[in-house]
Amino acid sequence: MATIAQTTAVRDSSRTFLRVSIALQTLTIFFQAATAGLLLTSPQGEVLHSAGARVMYGATMLYVLAAVLAWKPGGDSPRPVLYSTGFLILASVQVVLGIAHKPSLHVPLGVLMFGLSVLDLGRVLSGRRQERTRTRES
């Protein structure tokens, strides 16, 4: 009986970590959009956008870690690992395009990443609602 309770606790904590990490990633990408606007109007915008890029990349790596922990010890689906790895690849391309000063590719990719991150956050949060509904029905 204790093993089932421990497994449930690991699964719940790994799912919470996954939700927090995707929310953090979405917020940091949104912050990047705001600082991109500042980049055009203020000399401090470049500093904020550069710092935000590092935080966003770290948040994306955290999302990969959370997805792996939710999958392996947590027993969830491996699908979030694929999503998070895709985000890490997109973030890497985004960094390269930003360093190369290619705004014609950098900006649309940022918009795409934000849209995909919001969709993924919605997927993760709707899964949480479905879990609560199933628990209440049981």
Per-residue pLDDT of the chain (138 residues; tens, 9 = 90+): 446 555 566 677 888 999 999 999 999 999 999 999 898 888 888 999 999 999 999 999 999 999 999 888 767 888 999 999 999 999 999 999 999 999 999 999 999 999 999 999 999 998 765 555 555 555
Question: All domains of the chain, ordered by start, with CATH?
Answer: 7-137 (1.20.120)
Tokens 């999302």 -> residue: 63
| Rounded Cα gap, residues 56 and 51, in angstroms | 9
pLDDT of residue 1: 46
Taking the mean position of all CA atoms in its chain, how far away is CA 68?
13
| Burial track 35-48 (b if 16+ CB lie within 10 A, e otherwise) | bbebbeeeeebeeb
| Rounded Cα gap, residues 9 and 116, in angstroms | 29
Cβ count within 10 A of residue 80: 24
